[in-house]
Chain A
Amino acid sequence: MSDYHPMWKSLGLDLAAHDAMLQSVGQAYQETFLSQPNRPEGMKYFDFVISEVHGLRIKELLDAKAQGRKVIGSYCTFVPEELILALDGVSVGLCTGGDFALDLVDQVLPRNTCSLIKSAFGFKLGKVCPYIESCDLVVGENTCDGKKKAYEIMRRFIPNLHVIDLPQVKSEAGKGLLLAEYKRFAAKLEELTGRKLELGKLKAAIVTVNAKRAALKRLAALRQADPAPISGLDALLVSQVSFYDDPVRFTGAVSALCDELEKRVAAGQGVFAPKRPRLVISGCPMAFPNWKLPAILESSGAVIVGEESCVGERSTRWLTPENGNSVDEAIAQLVDRYLQIECAVFTPNPTRIEYAEQITRERKADGVVHYSLQFCQPYQMEAGPVVEQLEKDSIPALRIDTDYSREDEGQIRTRVEAFLERLHA
């Protein structure tokens, strides 16, 4: 591996803190991922990506910048990657899945803020994220109240911040708002890149992103098999990597992984023995490197076969039509596509439960684990009705509210074990 310290230094990272973080993430990766049994060969690509997550990929970003391309970072699946790619930008999802520099975060955010928002600030304030430091533009979005107000504060530390407003209701008026906001975002990108959004490039970008989503959908469908050909942890990792890897290369790697998994399914091979309790996770996104709950679930004897989550199927379920006849029409098609996302910030949001139930049945899952982050109002509020509805429809459901700390792992494990015992009683 090359020595990336000069590169990190040039980005202004706190080298000592960054080294310590890489070491701790590396160790967690070793314990959580590399120690799993019967991993598909195709995961080697993702292991490599993780090993170079702050190295080679950052170098690629800096090389792209040297060629005049712009790097655009974002935090949410509502940010249309297609527009970024159409203007030759590089789209990277920024990490929000680990506690970092909480002492600094506590100086600017209330303590009762969710871990995901705190994490976004921690990586910035602690100067340990080379992605955020490589960005020419960071894109926020008005999803929940916490994020909305946090972006006002974030602007102090990230002046090159563009915030997309989002509707809260899936109405015609809501659609109009999203259309106006996507057009405003496109104009911002045109200004930043000095390029003009063209139909041909936009359609090509839609094709690229559709291909990525189609590959991830194929991976999701393969998890119907019993025994599951891939662990939930590895499938989650693939979703996490989808946010910052090069989309074309990533699609190739996922397709190769799926080819291998198809052979496994045909041969009846799995990562675990058949008849292991199968679970679907539904709820808040699990951003890199948040592996806490899935690691507990799978080390307690379950296998995860689907994620009703933004880091999961909520960001890949829908493809965009590739037949727009004008830039305006193609943007309108993007709006239709993105407005379907079943985020809990929408009111009402009934199709989220329907999809959780649908994949539970399709994947022959035995139950659903509803996961919310502490202080995430939208998902914590929805958790009650979601769990109630699932139980009413004879799908056992377990509600877990937690954060990124490790102190409640014992309590979570107890609940998970009791839930699994309930499934098999």
Chain B
Amino acid sequence: MRTAGIDIGSRTVKLAILEDGRLRAARKRENSFDPLAVCRELLDGERFDRMVATGYGRHLFAREIAARTVSELTAAATGARWLLPSCRTVIDIGGQDTKALSLDDSGRLLRFEMNDKCAAGTGRFLEVIALALAARVSEFGALAASAAGSCPVSSTCTVFAESEVVSLIARGVPRNQIALGVTESIALRAASLAHKAGVFPDVLFTGGVALNPAVQRALEARLHVAVQVPDDPQIVTAIGCALLAASSPADLDASPA
């Protein structure tokens, strides 16, 4: 069976297609004001028997384009276990959410924690701060890594943190030190959620922010355990959906709309 998983996140839409237990396609596209159009573009020309959707746009998608839905948490746990069968903890930092999941030996979701209705410490936070530092998000990790010491950023609110960063720049603090400070504040928040949910090795770090190696290192320093990042950390939740699609009831068989 060929199954599709679509993860309609606040910043990026991800599509994974699995067949015979192998990943056949993994595609991403930046989200827009019209998530359905982005989904349709992403699905264009794809063939599959069943599809499961997750992410903020899942209910809209399920209504307009037939698919079963699942929460991002179950999808992330499923995808993480497929990539790393020994995984017991997942830390996922996406565009607007930070999630921490703890799983039992068999991969069942034990506990989960999510950030409040606040973008602090999420991918969006990183984007806003990168802009204030005139750095590309893709370079942010390298910039932070180049700093000898970090300049603490105390604000946890995206808006206040941005103005704090602006005032640090005005005080002449080198931008790589600010970048490292911001990195550490992101890791601090995620680690605190992870501790609440329970941290058991192996720890897998997923979501767009996991593309940033400085956050990975800062998380390891905070959690005192190795934190692994898959080759493509953004696609994990979509893979989870595609796996769940294979075990979903047949009455929701979907075809690309």
Q: Which residues of A line the B interface, CB within 8 A? A: 391, 401, 407-408, 410-411, 413-415, 417-418, 421-422, 425
B70 touches A421 (CB 8 A): yes
A418 touches B73 (CB 8 A): yes
Q: Which of B55-93 contact A (CB under 8 A)?
A: 56, 59, 69-74
Surface stretch bound by A, among B105-113, B144-152, B159-167, B168-176: B105-113
B117 within 8 A of A: yes
> Which of these, B71, B108, B116, B117, contacts A418 with CB under 8 Å?
B71
B97 within 8 A of A: yes
Contacting residues, chain B, for A408 (C-beta < 8 A) = 116-117
A425 touches B117 (CB 8 A): no
> Which of these, B69, B112, B117, contacts A411 with CB under 8 Å?
B117
16 contacting pairs across A/B (C-beta < 8 A) = A408-B117, A410-B56, A411-B97, A411-B116, A411-B117, A414-B56, A414-B71, A414-B97, A414-B114, A415-B71, A415-B114, A417-B69, A417-B70, A418-B109, A422-B112, A425-B108
A407-B117, A410-B56, A411-B117 known; A418 and B112 CB under 8 Å? yes
Instruction: A304 to B97: give the CA distance in the assembly, Å.
Output: 27
Instruction: A417 to B52: give the CA distance in the assembly, Å.
Output: 14
> Which of these, A391, A401, A407, A417, contacts B71 with CB under 8 Å?
A417
A425 touches B72 (CB 8 A): no
Query: Which B-chain residue is minimally distant from A398 (CB atoms)?
Result: B112
Contacting residues, chain A, for B73 (C-beta < 8 A) = 414-415, 418, 421
Instruction: A414 to B10: give the CA distance in the assembly, Å.
Output: 13
Contacting residues, chain A, for B59 (C-beta < 8 A) = 413
B74 touches A421 (CB 8 A): yes
A-B contact count (CB 8 A): 42
Query: Which B-chain residue is minimally distant from A397 (CB atoms)?
Result: B111
Q: Which residues of B line the A interface, CB within 8 A? A: 56, 59, 69-74, 97, 108-109, 111-112, 114, 116-117
- In the complex, what's the smallest C-beta–C-beta distance from A117 to chain B, in angstroms? 20
Query: Which B-chain residue is minimally distant from A414 (CB atoms)?
Result: B71
Q: Main secondary structure on chain A at its contact with chain B?
A: helix
A418 touches B72 (CB 8 A): yes
Instruction: A414 to B70: give the CA distance in the assembly, Å.
Output: 9
Tell me which of B70, B108, B111 has the highest count of chain A C-beta atoms within 10 A of its own C-beta.
B111
Instruction: A391 to B97: give the CA distance in the assembly, Å.
Output: 24
Contacting residues, chain A, for B71 (C-beta < 8 A) = 414-415, 417-418, 421
Q: Known pairs A407-B117, A411-B114, A417-B69. 5 more at Cβ < 8 A?
A: A418-B72, A418-B73, A421-B70, A421-B73, A421-B74
Contacting residues, chain B, for A418 (C-beta < 8 A) = 71-74, 109, 112
Query: Which A-chain residue is minimally distant from B108 (CB atoms)?
Result: A425
Contacting residues, chain B, for A425 (C-beta < 8 A) = 74, 108-109
Contacting residues, chain B, for A407 (C-beta < 8 A) = 117
Contacting residues, chain A, for B112 (C-beta < 8 A) = 415, 418, 422
- In the complex, what's the smallest C-beta–C-beta distance from A397 to chain B, in angstroms? 9
7 closest A-B pairs by beta carbon, nearest first, are A418-B73, A418-B71, A408-B117, A417-B71, A421-B74, A422-B109, A425-B108
Instruction: A391 to B69: give the CA distance in the assembly, Å.
Output: 27
Query: Which A-chain residue is minimally distant from B106 (CB atoms)?
Result: A425
Instruction: A401 to B113: give the CA distance in the assembly, Å.
Output: 12
Contacting residues, chain A, for B114 (C-beta < 8 A) = 411, 414-415
A414 touches B117 (CB 8 A): no
Query: Which A-chain residue is minimally distant from B101 (CB atoms)?
Result: A418
Query: Which B-chain residue is minimally distant from A415 (CB atoms)?
Result: B114
